Structure 1
Amino acid sequence: MAGMESEQYATEDVVELDQGNGTAAIVHLHGATVVSWKLRGEEILFCSKKAIFDNKKAIRGGIPIVFPQFGPWSLGPQHGFARIRKWKLVSTPMQDSRGNITAVFSLEDDKRTRELWDKKFKLVYTVSLWDKSLELNLKVLNRDESSFEYTTLMHTYFTTPDVTKTSVIGLKDLHFIDKVQDGAILTENRSEVIVNENYDRVYQNAPNEIVVNKVGNGEQKVIIKKTNFPDVGNGVEPMGRESSRDGRF
């Protein structure tokens, strides 16, 4: 799976964080979607060759932000509106004394969002690129007169040369919702989950550290460290690198 090519989108629509030595990240203002993260020249994220950068549709791949609803939504588009709205660049990429490069983005309610979801809010998204890691921080600020409920997640797509050899460690003994089996709630009994079949699962109350093996060029692993994101989801069809149940990819 190749990384993002700059000619796929207008340069004025993206923000690049560059550490040098082939380590860089690209954030598209449409959805504040991280569309590329390269580590020493190797792309870690998957973005479909069929991705459409028209600033209207959700970008197919990378790290889309889901808010205020995960999954089907009776009030609006699936996975909410955050991934299909243009975000504002609040702080341009800057390097601090620790060596990481950080950019800050924001999204606030407006007439269009209130037509769908009548709440006043502000999202602040901080993207920090380190020498060997990518740190993402999302703050949800309630500006409404009353409390509101929401779901949010970072819907990450990792690239891999062979998804059937990719595995996830850290899910043993967790309950999960299996959407392939009509939402059945099951328990994971494997210490290492190998992605060798059609998966669409949400693992509940997952530990704050999860390991994903054989991503990027197939020789790398990603250690996911999370805070205040209780669940972990994985969805994949191992038929091929460009396959999808609805044919989009």
Structure 2
Amino acid sequence: MAGGVSSVEVVKDGATGLEKLVLREAHGCSVQVFLYGGQVIFWENEYREQLLFVSRKAYFKPPKAIRGGIQICFPQFGNHGVLEQHGFARNRLWSVDETPPPFPATTSNCHIDLILKQSPEDLKIWPNSFEFRLRVALSPTGDLMLTSRIKNTNADGKPFKFGFSYNTYFSVSDISEVRVEGLETLDYIDNLQCGKRCTEQGDAVVFESEAEKVYLSAPPKIVIIDHDKKRTFELRKEGLPDVVVWNPWDRKAKTILDFGEEEYKCMLCVGAANAEKPITLRPGEEWQGRQEISVVPSSYSSGQWDPEIIHRIQDI
């Protein structure tokens, strides 16, 4: 699972009793992945700063998904038909994949492989056989990489359709001071307006009220700028055309049982997704989607990037 000076260990979480895998890199970066939900919950940099948001009111037991980290939304994004919201993958118990197939070349030796297959209960509500393989990797510089591979294993020759999202809860200093760049001029679906299709008018996405949007055909790279923390998240994606953006703001936050009333101020959910047009897989076919996040220090003032940051982003 690991090589060099990095390490991967399986432990039981003392606070929740759930089994998790802990990835550590030599420079002090670490990631914790819970088998429940196949979910990255903690991602810390070398200064032991938590980069992901997890609600202090989050449930860590079935049947609720864990509120925070990176949720795996499959086989749907949203709330449609008989399936629970965002599908069932985020509240199922995954297993360590002992014999994963070859993955694309990666710069990281520090990784874990998980697998999820349909249960008898899942077949009753979504009658399809599948293999969902997830690799979580931590690079030597602390970048967090998630690669999903979903295969149709139906024996009856039947194709299936699915939606997907990496619902990623970022920890931010103050939501009012955060900007998302790379989504300007794009069309988006506004779920607060009954799925109305709109066009982003601003030169960046900023937050002054509740937001629940799906940006369509987004570029492969966007950035999330946290002015107060002088920190920029760079999110890169492959195989996932859309980007989901969500913050419940004050009124909605008060209605969410596993979310603190004031916590909307210190989080922003942004994730690579395939939300608008379902993916179709025939038996034997496999789909792959990838999200990679890195963190760079930034100084941001009056709408101007540091030249050093611009140079780094253009080189990616």
TM-score (norm 2): 0.70
Matched AA of 2:170: F
Going from structure 1 to structure 2, the CA distance change for 1:232 and 1:244 (only over 3 Å counts) comes to farther
TM-superposed CA distance for 1:54, in Å, is: 1.6
Going from structure 1 to structure 2, the CA distance change for 1:132 and 1:191 (only over 3 Å counts) comes to farther
Distance 1:103 1:244 in 2: 36
SS at match of 2:169: coil
Going from structure 1 to structure 2, the CA distance change for 1:206 and 1:119 (only over 3 Å counts) comes to same
Deviations 1:94-114 (A, max 9, x none): xx9955411000001121111
Residue 196 of structure 1 is matched in structure 2 by 208
Going from structure 1 to structure 2, the CA distance change for 1:225 and 1:13 (only over 3 Å counts) comes to same
Where do 5+ consecutive residues of structure 1 fail to align?
Answer: 1-5
Deviations 1:138-185 (A, max 9, x none): 011011122111001111100112011111000111100111222221
Matched AA of 1:231: D
Distance 2:240 2:223 in 1: 15
SS at match of 2:176: helix
TM-superposed CA distance for 1:192, in Å, is: 1.5
8 Å CA contact 2:40–2:70 kept in 1: the answer is: yes
Residue 167 of structure 1 is matched in structure 2 by 179
SS at match of 1:158: strand
Residue 59 of structure 2 is matched in structure 1 by 52
Residue 158 of structure 1 is matched in structure 2 by 170
Going from structure 1 to structure 2, the CA distance change for 1:31 and 1:204 (only over 3 Å counts) comes to same
Distance 1:67 1:13 in 2: 21
- Give the counterpart of 2:144 among 126, 134, 140: 134
8 Å CA contact 2:188–2:198 kept in 1: the answer is: yes
Residue 277 of structure 2 is matched in structure 1 by none
Please show how residues 96-115 of structure 1 align to structure 2 within 5 Å: 98-115=107-124
Identity %: 30
- Give the counterpart of 1:78 among 82, 85, 88: 85
TM-superposed CA distance for 1:247, in Å, is: 4.3
Residue 8 of structure 2 is matched in structure 1 by none
TM-score (norm 1): 0.88
Please show how residues 1-249 of structure 1 align to structure 2 within 5 Å: 7-10=14-17, 13-40=19-46, 41-91=48-98, 98-130=107-139, 131-144=141-154, 145-214=157-226, 218-239=229-250, 243=253, 245-249=255-259
Distance 1:247 1:199 in 2: 19
SS at match of 1:226: strand
Deviations 1:186-212 (A, max 9, x none): 101222111222111010110110101
8 Å CA contact 1:237–1:245 kept in 2: the answer is: no
Deviations 1:33-57 (A, max 9, x none): 1001111211110011111112431
Matched AA of 1:140: I
Where do 5+ consecutive residues of structure 2 fail to align?
Answer: 1-12, 100-104, 260-316
Deviations 1:80-106 (A, max 9, x none): 1101110001149xxx99554110000
Matched AA of 2:117: E
